[in-house]
Every structure is written in C-alpha cells, then in structure tokens.
Amino acid sequence: MPQSFDKRIARYSTRSLLALATAAGASPSSRHRWQSVAHLVSQVLASASAQPNKTVSVEELSTLLDAARRDDPRIAALEDFMPNDPRLVALVRHDDALLRLFPGQVERPVADVERTAMVSAAVDEVLVQQRGFGVADYAAVALIYLDHVVRGVGPSWDPNASPALTDKPAVSSAEIAASATLVTSPLPRIATSGRRQSALAFATAEVTSLRYTPDHPQSTFGRHFAISLPEGVWPESRQQLSGGRFRWWLPAAFIPEALGYGVSELARETADDPGCARRFASIAASRVRRALWRFGDVLGPPDIDGEPTASPRNVVQWVVPFGGARALLVQLVARLSQDQAMFKGLPAAVRVCQDANANPDVPIVVPMPGGGELSLYAGTEVVPLVLIAGAGHLVAPQVPGVAGMSLEDLVWASRTADSKIDLFLFCRQLADLQRVPMIGWEAIDYWEWWRANDKAFFAGGKAPDLMSIAAHGGNAEWLRAGEQAQWETALWSTGLPPVAAFDVSERTGAGPPALYAWGGPAEVQHQ
C-alpha cells in the first residue's frame, strides 16, 4: 500500500516543503496540478511544528502531488482545466507604476481587477471608517505582491514548457531557489501606510485558523494571502511579525481567488448601507451605458448630479434602439451582496417583451427608473437583456426567453464586437424560445462561440437535440491583455489613462493602435 500522505510529508523539513510548494504554486509547468499543491500546503501547515532535517528534492514533487490526489479524491475532478499561463505579460496600472498580473486559478483575472476598482469606489468611504482600510488597500496588497512574485520568480520559469493535463508536474532547482528568496527578502512596497498594514493583517491568518476548502466555489483558502508561522520554521525570513512569528505568503496560484473572495466579504459588510448601495448601482449603470454606446444610442432617464439614475426596483434601465423597428431592453440588477433580496416576479424587461409579442398592435410601454415610462411603436421587435453586477465573479443564468449577461460579459462584448448590430443579434438568438437547447457556463463562453461560428449558435440543417458550449472562453480576455501590454506601457510612459479607461481599442493596420473614448476616458480607480 502507498504510504499515507501525512507520513510521507513528515519525512521532510517544513521549510523545504514550503519552498517546493511556493515554486510549484507559481510555475507554468505545474499549473495543471495547483489544486494538489493546495492540499500539500494545507497538510504541511497542519504539521508545521515538526522539524526533520531532510530536504525534499524537486524530483519528489510529482510523487507528493499524486499522493495528495489519493489523500483527497475530490482533487482529481478539480484539476480538469489548464489555468492561464502566467508567462504571458499582462499589466495593470497602479498609482504611478505598472504591475504584472498573475492569473492564478480564476477564470477572468483582468475583469476581476476592473470590478474591484468599481467596488472600491462604492464602499471604501464607509469601509475605511469601519475597519481602518478599504478594498483598494486590500487589493493593492495582493497586486503588488503578485507583481513581486512574477518579477522575482518569472526569470526561472522554463520558457518552452507546454504541459498537458496528463503530464507530470515539474519545477526546477532554479525555481526553488528563487521562491526561497521571496521568503528571505524584505517585502516590496506593500505596507506603506497604516491602512495597508491593516489590510495586510486582515489578509494574514494564524496557521491554526486557516480554512482550507478544496471544492469551495470561490477560494481554496478564503480571504487570506499569507500565514503567520513560528519563526523557527524559517529563521532567515525578513518578514518578521511580533511574538516570534513570521509571515509566509501562500503560493501565488491561490492569491487571485482569495482577493476576489475577500473583496466580496468586505463589500458584504457595507451592503446594507444605503449610500454604498446607491453608489455601486450608479457606478455599474454608468459602466453599462458606456458599454452600450458602442452599439448606438442609449435611451434612459436623465442623470442626477452627473450620475445615471439607477433604481433597485423592477424596471428597465436602458433602451437601445437598432433602427426604427428593433430595440434591446436592458435591465440591470446591481447588488453588493448576493444575499440581498431581489425584486419579485418576472424581470420587467422580460414582462414587457412577452406583452409586446402577445399584443403586436399595441404601443409598448417600458417602465424606467424614477417612475417614468418610455413608449415604443407597436410592432417594435424587443429583446430582453438582464445584466447582473456584483462585488464578486458572477455567472448570469441562461433561461429561455431572456438573454443573461454579467456586467463583465457586456464590457467584453463591447470591446470585441465588430458591428453595431452584434449585441442585438446575439441577445435575440440567446433569448429565442425556439433556439437549440444549450448548456454552458458564462455568457462570455456563449459570445466567443457565437463570434467564432459566423455569429450563429447553430447554422446547420437539422438542429441537434442539445448543444454544450465549451467552458473557459474567458481565456480570450487574458490573451487580449497580453496583446495590449505594449499599449499599456506606452500609455503609462506618456502620462495617458490606462487601456481600461477607453471604450474601444483596436489595431486596424500596421500603425499604432487606435483607442476611443465616448466623451473622454472614463475615470479609473487605481488600487
């Protein structure tokens, strides 16, 4: 019988195991086995007081991770995809610096950073008073550290490694050495203020209280980026804490998901504050409108104090006409906490479309925010689009009769569409009651398939009984960020806003890229 997992790791020093886990939890050559690395970390931390002198070798990595799978059979089912490649250079603007992003195991790391900035703008005024730090401080801790990891360990990565799901995980001695340096070197510019120090404390767990949930839908290690360990585990560490402790950072693979979970947790604390809820709904509505402008005119209520009128009631937020005979009814559901109750009954956009189809000779009356109404000519073809916006990564449900998208899905559609009619055609096909039955995950997956298939979900002769939309279409967002890294650098070096502040960015020829903004670049909140 194979040796039990706890006995296997008990043969080696905690220090060498943590160095191995740190390297494997960042390495492109091991990214298909990151859930097994998480199990290794959890078990090593559970016995961190044991101090044998034997150093684990890099050749033992595959054996240890296979033993982790045997120790917890759930892990094999969780390692069924290939996370994004951290060797791709994707950049985000932070204050006056450019930071390298690390994708980890999250589906859409670029969208996560942009959403975090929105949440920060909505809640930090209240959160700083309550906790002494805000979402922006918490996010800065993660982003600066991940940049530190990529720049410190990245040069040791094998540039030619291209692992498959069935390949053995691997790390090199150079990766181990670079990862150990992360522990023995001082922190980069993270805790530069009292607020950042408080955020870092919030993100650091005592080893005895660290939560490990391998099949958690959001984060394997909760909100935590780092662990407080006894100083004797790694005496050379330059990241000392009080009481004979030191801070050991979790492998980079798990920090992006912990960031998303922690932002949701912090936002939930302010969800019942009327001011925070109103600001978030207004910020989300503003972002929706800018995305919709890519497709033409947008009809809605007048702004109040320069901000869109966003209502928590069951009403349509925007109407987007496509010519004189078609219109998209856009309803926005913006909540800082998914625990908050939504309106009862059918979404207004769906109800109006159902009534219009049942009574084609009657003018269409659309309820709008602020108690107003908007009338459309009888016979107008109307399609409902229900958008959801929240503090965390959301997947919009796909229900026959309505197109569902998250705010991030809509922003991606606006950035990648090549025709003003694209959004209407996509939503019409998605909401068609007679369409081929489809199962899938995120709307971005549907959008990427639809675009690649000549803007049709199915264009053959006899329709199939069921279609399955491939997952991980969101990887296109990571690849696009890599393609635009040079643009981001050029904008930063010339003092211009980041790419995310522009509504359209494209390259149409051999010259420089073209970036457009509706009325001026959007204000982007920097972590």
| Interval 294-303 mean pLDDT | 92
Q: Grade residue 526 by pLDDT with cuts at 50, 70 and 90.
A: very low
pLDDT for 521 beyond 90: no
The string of pLDDT tens digits covering residues 107-139 is 999 999 999 999 999 999 999 999 999 999 999
Alpha carbon distance 395, 193 (integer Å) = 36
Q: What are phi and psi of 327, to 5 degrees?
A: -155, 145
pLDDT tens digits, 437-463: 899 999 999 999 999 999 999 887 788
- Report CA torsion sign: 143, 271, 337, 292: negative
> Is residue 527's pLDDT more than 50?
no
Mapped onto helix, strand or coil, the DSSP state of residue 265 is helix
At residue 400 the predicted structure's pLDDT band, cuts being 50, 70 and 90, is: confident
With 70 as the cut, is the pLDDT of residue 287 above it? yes
pLDDT digits (tens, 9 = 90+) for 459-516: 877 888 899 999 999 999 999 999 999 999 999 999 999 999 998 888 877 788 889 8
**198-205: long-range pairs with CB below 8 Å, 24+:** 198/131, 198/132, 198/133, 198/137, 199/133, 199/134, 199/137, 199/138, 199/140, 199/141, 200/141, 200/225, 200/226, 202/131, 202/133, 202/138, 202/262, 203/138, 203/141, 203/142, 203/258, 203/262, 204/228, 204/247
With the CA atoms of 206, 207, 210 and 214 taken in that order, what torsion angle do they form, in degrees rounded to the nearest 10?
160
Closest among 180, 115, 162 to 389, alpha carbons compared: 115
Q: What is the pLDDT of residue 49?
A: 60
pTM for the complete prediction? 0.94
- Answer with the residue of higher pLDDT: 450 or 341: 450
- Distance between CA 148 and CA 132 in Å, rounded? 25
Three-class DSSP labels, 391-438: CCCCCCCCECCEEEEEHHHHHHHHHHCCCCCHHHHHHHHHHCCCCCCE
**pLDDT one-digit tens code per residue, 238-266:** 888 888 899 999 999 999 999 999 999 99
Which of 406, 383, 390, 210 has its CA nearest to residue 291?
406
Q: What is the pLDDT of residues 28-62, one digit of tens each?
A: 999 999 999 999 999 999 886 656 778 999 999 99
74-109 tens-digit pLDDT: 999 999 999 999 999 999 998 778 999 999 999 999
Report the mean per-residue pLDDT for the chain: 92
Which pLDDT score is estimated for 510?
A: 79
Q: Provide the percentage of residues in the chain whose pLDDT is more than 90.
A: 76
Domain spans, the chain: 5-270, 274-479
Q: What is the mean pLDDT of residues 193-202?
A: 95
**Is the pLDDT at 396 greater than 70, yes or no?**
yes
Q: Is pLDDT of 342 > 80?
A: no
Residue count of the chain, please give it: 527
Per-residue pLDDT of 208-231, as tens digits, reads: 999 999 999 999 999 999 999 998
Q: Is the pLDDT of residue 2 over 70?
A: no
Distance of alpha carbon 414 from alpha carbon 422, whole angstroms: 9
Task: Give the pLDDT confidence score for residue 344 in this predicted structure.
Answer: 80
CB 413 within 8 A of CB 447: yes
